[in-house]
Amino acid sequence: QQPVQSPQAVILREGEDAVINCSSSKALYSVHWYRQKHGEAPVFLMILLKGGEQKGHDKISASFNEKKQQSSLYLTASQLSYSGTYFCGTLTGGGNKLTFGTGTQLKVEL
């Protein structure tokens, strides 16, 4: 079953912060985050492998709450280049079957 993301869409002014949430109905082994710009392929942002793990690069970070079967992506001091659709991808068992979430459209404006 597809993970559910919230919000579905968000509009920010440059410099504002945002949080994107990803919830699964199944136990999670790992969570991936990807960003897709219009007309392009999804691009990997980061992977979280353990419950409680937090990661970040630049001003984008993420956390993984294994018990709650949730992950959150944090974007701080947003830039125009952050615009796109963000997807979480979850692994819920052995193997490589990565299931993507419903997506969150993010638009950053001046």
Q: Give the nearer residue to other proteins in terms of CB position, either 13 or 96.
A: 96
**Applying CB under 8 A, does 34 fall inside the site for other proteins?**
yes
**Applying CB under 8 A, does 30 fall inside the site for other proteins?**
yes
Q: How many amino acids of this chain bind other proteins (CB under 8 A)?
A: 22
Q: Which residue from 62, 64, 101, 106 is in contact with other proteins, where contact means CB under 8 A?
A: 101
**Applying CB under 8 A, does 95 fall inside the site for other proteins?**
yes
Structure tokens at 43: 């691009």
Beta-bridged to residue 63, according to DSSP, are 54, 72
Structure tokens at 57: 């690069």
**Applying CB under 8 A, does 44 fall inside the site for other proteins?**
yes
Q: Give the nearer residue to other proteins in terms of CB position, either 51 or 103.
A: 103
Q: Which stretch binds other proteins (CB under 8 A): 9-17, 43-51, 53-61, 69-77?
A: 43-51
